[in-house]
């Protein structure tokens, strides 16, 4: 999609979208361009707004088809809501609404006016970002498709008061959208295409963005003593991988990085503790955490973020097989701690245990954030509206929650503590990999914490938010890319410069 920014000049033909603020005496407030269109159509705009009770409420739309007095094919009014509350994420959501209304047209002009000098460029850039976020499609495996069902939108001209600034702002927004799309792509790929080694191959595309890409195979991980991760991959024909991505954008390249760790189970059958058949296909997106890591690295690299970040993905396929690990097996993690594997379907924590340990040993990070589709229990607790956050550090946790709030990828903190940790005591090993069945997301987090030394750490359980069949405000149905915008914002607000 080609997006350009220019000064406001109402076009003579085609589709024009005009943002209309809420205000005045409870009604809509037309900016100069909208007022000009109203005049040109001899008041058709005002009459239509009145008849449809369109007051400029945020995300509400009103369409005028072939308005008399013009050669336009359509005028789409879109509500901006109260300008006082119009922020970047609100602009993105408005962009997404515009996309849905105009996707079948090849091109459109969007006019954003009256927002005030300080915000105009930022809002225009994010509005454009929202259009792109919602336009995501994954059609590579379709060999036939109804032509009429296919979106046609190719070019978007955003007209605003400060187009040069908007264009600059948009460069950073577009980098993040690129990252989100990369995440959505890898997460959506089927599990016969994306497996540990092919995930690594896909991640190597990031070298073009300036990211350093490195991967360890099973021989190297065996040497490191990663018995917990390797046990999970043991029943798979595919070789397990540890993917390491580095973006050293800070002035001081040797400054301690931030570490972002992702669960990358490319397919989770449950292993010998096999999952039921219905819905098992969802487990292709059990690498959603790793998907966020690669998308985030793309976003940071493409916007040349002045920060050092290392991304690590534990990539395994969890399969039942004669060689697979059994319920009851005891494995030794890289940390030296032993784990009784009572349920081979609680595999994500086993993978993360070794990756978290490795991340701390090798990189001495100033903080660690992990993302994982770790538990079904988090979906019971929070549904699709929030991801769960667990942390040993109030400050880190507050910063992540604030970033999530700002980009509308919300987090809700759940408690941790010894009361819960007791639940994973084992009679024969240092711990077992499942709790007693209650508060399953918390016992999973307690398990992870046993592999954290004294570094600020947060664990995001994203099982409920990685995939959304109906779609969200900024994503069509399927993979959402949740986490990329959140961590990008968290890093931008707290670690850059």
Residues that bind ligand BES (CB under 6 A): 268, 282, 286, 343, 345-348, 373, 375-377, 434, 440, 463
Please give the Cα distance from 13 to 70 (Å, whole number): 8
Q: Is 317 one of the binding residues for Mn ion (CB under 5 A)?
A: no
SS3 130: helix
DSSP annotation of 208: G
Q: How far is the CB of 463 from ligand BES (least distance, A)?
A: 4
Catalytic-labelled residue, pool 132, 349, 432, 485: 349
CA 458 to chain centre: 17
Q: How far is the CB of 184 from ligand BES (least distance, A)?
A: 16
Please, which residue, 263 or 298, has the CB nearer to Mn ion?
Answer: 263
Please give the Cα distance from 280 to 270 (Å, whole number): 9
SS3 158: strand
The residues near 322 (Cβ < 8 Å, ≥ 6 apart) are none
Cβ-closest residue to ligand BES?
Answer: 376
Q: How far is the CB of 215 from Mn ion (least distance, A)?
A: 23
Q: Which of residues 344-373 bind Mn ion (CB under 5 A)?
A: 345, 347
Please give the Cα distance from 75 to 66 (Å, whole number): 8
Please give the Cα distance from 193 to 434 (Å, whole number): 30
Catalytic-labelled residue, pool 275, 304, 366, 410: 275
Q: How far is the CB of 276 from Zn ion (least distance, A)?
A: 14
Please, which residue, 19 or 196, has the CB nearer to Mn ion?
Answer: 196
Q: How far is the CB of 347 from Mn ion (least distance, A)?
A: 5
Please give the Cα distance from 73 to 66 (Å, whole number): 5
Exposure of 133 in the CB half-sphere (CA atoms within 13 A): 34
Q: Is 461 one of the binding residues for Mn ion (CB under 5 A)?
A: no
Please give the Cα distance from 176 to 159 (Å, whole number): 22
Six token digits for residue 247: 């973006």
H/E run at residue 329: strand 329-332
Q: Is 218 one of the binding residues for Mn ion (CB under 5 A)?
A: no
Q: Please report how the helices 394-407 and 484-494 are oriented relative to each other, as an axis angle in degrees rounded to 10.
A: 120
Of 34-42, 338-346, 368-376, 379-387, which part binds Mn ion (CB under 5 A)?
338-346
Q: Which does 434 bind (CB under 5 to 8 A by kind): Mn ion, Zn ion, ligand BES, none?
A: ligand BES
Please, which residue, 60 or 238, has the CB nearer to Zn ion?
Answer: 238
Q: Which does 463 bind (CB under 5 to 8 A by kind): Mn ion, ligand BES, Zn ion, none?
A: ligand BES
Q: How many Cβ atoms are within 10 Å of 248's Cβ, its own excluded?
A: 16
Q: Are 457 and 445 in contact (CB under 8 A)?
A: no
Please give the Cα distance from 136 to 472 (Å, whole number): 12
Q: Is 268 one of the binding residues for Mn ion (CB under 5 A)?
A: yes
Active-site annotation holds for 7: no
Six token digits for residue 263: 């669960």
Q: How far is the CB of 443 from ligand BES (least distance, A)?
A: 8
Q: Which does 161 bind (CB under 5 to 8 A by kind): ligand BES, Mn ion, Zn ion, none?
A: none
Residue bearing tokens 């690129």? 178
Active-site annotation holds for 275: yes
Cβ-closest residue to Zn ion?
Answer: 268
Q: Which does 343 bind (CB under 5 to 8 A by kind): ligand BES, Zn ion, Mn ion, none?
A: ligand BES
Of 99-107, 169-177, 260-268, 410-418, which part binds Mn ion (CB under 5 A)?
260-268
Q: Determine the size of the site formed for Mn ion (CB under 5 A).
A: 3
Q: How far is the CB of 37 from Zn ion (least distance, A)?
A: 53
- Please, where are the H alpha helices in 334-392? 348-363, 377-382
The 62-101 site mask, x for binding Mn ion (CB under 5 A), equals: ----------------------------------------
User: Closest Cα to residue 386, out of 411, 423, 415?
Assistant: 411
List active site positions.
Answer: 275, 349
**Which residues of the chain form contacts with Mn ion (CB under 5 A)?**
268, 345, 347
């Amino acid at each position: 999609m080609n997006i350009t920014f220019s000064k406001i000049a109402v076009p003579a033909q085609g589709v024009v979208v005009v943002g209309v603020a809420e205000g005045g005496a409870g009604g809509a407030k037309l900016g100069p361009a909208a007022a000009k269109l109203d005049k040109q159509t001899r008041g058709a705009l005002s009459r239509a707004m009145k008849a449809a009770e369109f007051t400029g409420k945020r995300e509400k739309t009103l369409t005028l088809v072939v308005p008399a007095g013009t050669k336009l094919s359509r005028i789409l009014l879109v509500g901006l809501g109260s300008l006082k509350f119009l922020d970047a994420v609100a602009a993105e959501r408005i962009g997404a609404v515009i996309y849905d209304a105009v996707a079948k047209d090849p091109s459109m002009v969007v006019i954003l006016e009256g927002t005030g000098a300080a915000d105009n460029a930022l809002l225009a850039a994010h509005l454009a970002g929202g259009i792109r976020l919602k336009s995501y499609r994954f059609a590579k495996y379709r060999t036939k498709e109804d032509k009429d069902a296919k979106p046609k939108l190719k070019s978007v001209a955003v007209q605003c008061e400060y187009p040069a600034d908007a264009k600059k702002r948009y460069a950073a927004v577009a980098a993040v959208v690129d990252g989100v799309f990369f995440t959505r792509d890898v997460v959506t790929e089927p599990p016969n295409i994306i497996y540990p080694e092919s995930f690594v191959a896909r991640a190597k595309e990031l070298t073009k963005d300036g990211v350093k890409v490195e991967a360890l195979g099973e021989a190297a991980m065996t040497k490191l003593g990663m018995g917990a991760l390797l046990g999970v991959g043991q029943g798979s024909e595919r070789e397990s991988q540890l993917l390491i991505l580095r973006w050293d954008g800070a002035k001081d390249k040797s400054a301690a990085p931030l570490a972002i760790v992702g669960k990358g189970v490319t397919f989770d059958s449950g292993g010998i503790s096999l999952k039921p058949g219905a819905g098992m296909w969802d487990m292709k997106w059990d690498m959603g955490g790793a998907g966020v890591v690669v998308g985030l690295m793309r976003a940071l690299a493409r916007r040349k973020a002045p920060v050092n970040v290392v991304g690590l993905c534990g990539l395994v396929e969890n399969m039942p097989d004669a060689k697979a690990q059994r319920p009851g097996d005891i494995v030794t993690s890289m940390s030296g701690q032993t784990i009784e594997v009572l349920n081979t379907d609680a595999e994500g924590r086993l993978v993360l245990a070794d990756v978290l340990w490795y991340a701390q040993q090798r990189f001495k990070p100033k903080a660690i954030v992990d993302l994982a589709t770790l538990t079904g229990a988090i979906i019971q607790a929070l549904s699709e509206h929030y991801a769960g956050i667990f942390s040993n550090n109030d400050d880190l946790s507050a910063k992540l929650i604030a970033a999530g709030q700002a980009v509308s990828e919300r987090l809700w903190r759940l408690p941790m503590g010894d009361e819960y940790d007791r639940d994973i005591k084992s009679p024969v090993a240092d711990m077992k990999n499942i709790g007693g069945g209650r508060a399953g997301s918390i016992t999973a987090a307690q398990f992870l914490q046993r592999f954290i030394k004294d570094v600020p750490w947060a664990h995001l359980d994203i099982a409920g938010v990685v995939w959304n069949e109906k779609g969200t405000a900024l994503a069509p149905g399927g993979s959402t890319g949740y986490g990329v915008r959140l961590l990008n914002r968290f890093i931008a607000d707290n670690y850059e410069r």
